[in-house]
Amino acid sequence: MAKASATFLCQSCGAATTKWSGRCESCGQWNTIVEEAPLAAGPSGKTLGKSRGRAVALLDLDSPEAPPPRTRSNLDELDRVLGGGLVPSSAVLVAGDPGIGKSTLLLQAAAAFARSGLKVVYISGEEASAQIRLRAQRLGLADARVSLATETNLRDILTTLDAERPDLAIIDSIQTMWADNVDSAPGSVSQVRAAAHELTTFAKRRGSAVFMVGHVTKDGQIAGPRVVEHMVDTVLYFEGERGHQFRILRSVKNRFGPADEIGVFEMTGAGLSEVTNPSALFLSERGTPAPGSAVFAGIEGTRPVLVEFQALVAPSPHSQPRRSVVGWDGGRLAMILAVLEARCGIPFAGLDVYLNVAGGMRVGEPAADLAVAAALLSAREDAALPAETVVFGEISLSGALRPVSQTENRLKEAQKLGFSTAILPAGGKTAGFGGMALTEKDSLTAFVGDIFGAG
């Protein structure tokens, strides 16, 4: 049998080449290319595709291969993000900034699942068992039946898990694991990919769910090869600003539930506590309506959430005005400013523009366009929007306002929190909805003229 040719892999970006070179042609880094050992050959006479598994009818729910039900942790925010509970044989990747609370969240989740009757093993490659116990005592989880271990050798970890057969295994973190058959340092592209592959394979083969903690880079991306996110079933990002006590667990990929679902937590001295009404929490520090403030009724996954957009417009002492955005897309802000100038005749030249989403929330849906425009105009004209008003709608490049999805859910959430007026695009599904004064606009020019008396 012909010997497999060697493969050389960049430890920075994961690009593969057939020969070694001092500089990676993909990312431009120097001295990052190393030789990767080829996969071991299988038994003689066996080739890929010769062995076929037995077909199972998809609707045969009484078959032995039918999936067991989900297990709820009784942490409603975590269960919501997972799609209704923990799915057996699933691989979940949890990523977030350093110190954001990933280990705290997973330790609380381990205790919650253990109290629900699951056998849980928590394996840390970053802390000693005594340190984990100290944190568990601080969180009031010392009585939870969770097995603790500290190890980084992947072979020893898989051997232990194979013997223990836990229902849930938590690996903290995937970047500290190392496989002795891969000739590279822990945390490298090859090691992370090999560890994620072995742990995901174990989850599928043994029926155990596996949580893996992932580090992130300075750009906010999960450290390691992108293929890790393709391997696992669910990718969760734990987000939050260090200056705020709010923490948001966001699902960016989920094979067993809706993507872009969020769970909201509050960091306290006793750990993370659930926030059952995030809209009230994000608006809790909102006082008397002030210029530059607009409340947006958004949708995160399946949940309506109200957040406050804050804008500040001030004369710029520089030749190039600043455009600073926190919690929203900077490119979309530039588009809104261009539409206001081209379609409504309201220039922002020579003015610094600052935009912030209060509470550390990150908003990505286009329905926030009208709320951003309202906050910018309110700050520029130094005129506050009408009290107890919510705003939402998408702005097109022509200046027209486009309806958005789930209009009724947005309005119901606003009404529940005491808002009495809503400004939204015309043509939305609002038939039969009462209890709020609805102001429908078909263009940005009409909105500017009626609300601010200009345009």
Query: 């067993």: which residue's tokens?
Result: 256
d(CA 84, CA 70) in angstroms, rounded, equals: 7
445 vs 189: CA distance, rounded Å: 52
Q: 441 labelled as ligand-binding?
A: no
DSSP three-state, residue 171: strand
Q: Is 331 annotated as a binding residue?
A: no
Token digits for 58? 């998809």
Sort strands 120-124 and 234-239 into parallel, antiparallel or unpaired: unpaired
Phi, psi of 218 (to 5 degrees): -65, -25
Query: Is residue 101 marked as binding?
Result: yes
One-letter amino acid for residue 438 of the chain: L
Residue 322: other Cβ atoms inside 10 A: 11
Cα angle: 408, vertex 413, 419; to 5 degrees: 105
Query: Distance between CA 428 and CA 421 in Å, rounded?
Result: 15
Q: Is 360 annotated as a binding residue?
A: no
Asked if residue 224 belongs to a known ligand binding site, the reply is no
Report the distance separating Cα 188 and Cα 195, nearest Å.
11
DSSP single-letter state for residue 385: P
Residue 301 assigned ligand-binding role: no
- Nearest residue to 209 (alpha-carbon basis) of 123, 92, 293: 92
What is the C-alpha to C-alpha distance for residues 416 and 15, in angstroms, rounded to an integer? 52
The dihedrals phi and psi of 394, each to the nearest 5 degrees, come to -100, 140
Enumerate the known binding-site residues: 96-103
Q: Which residues are annotated as a binding site for ATP?
A: 96-103
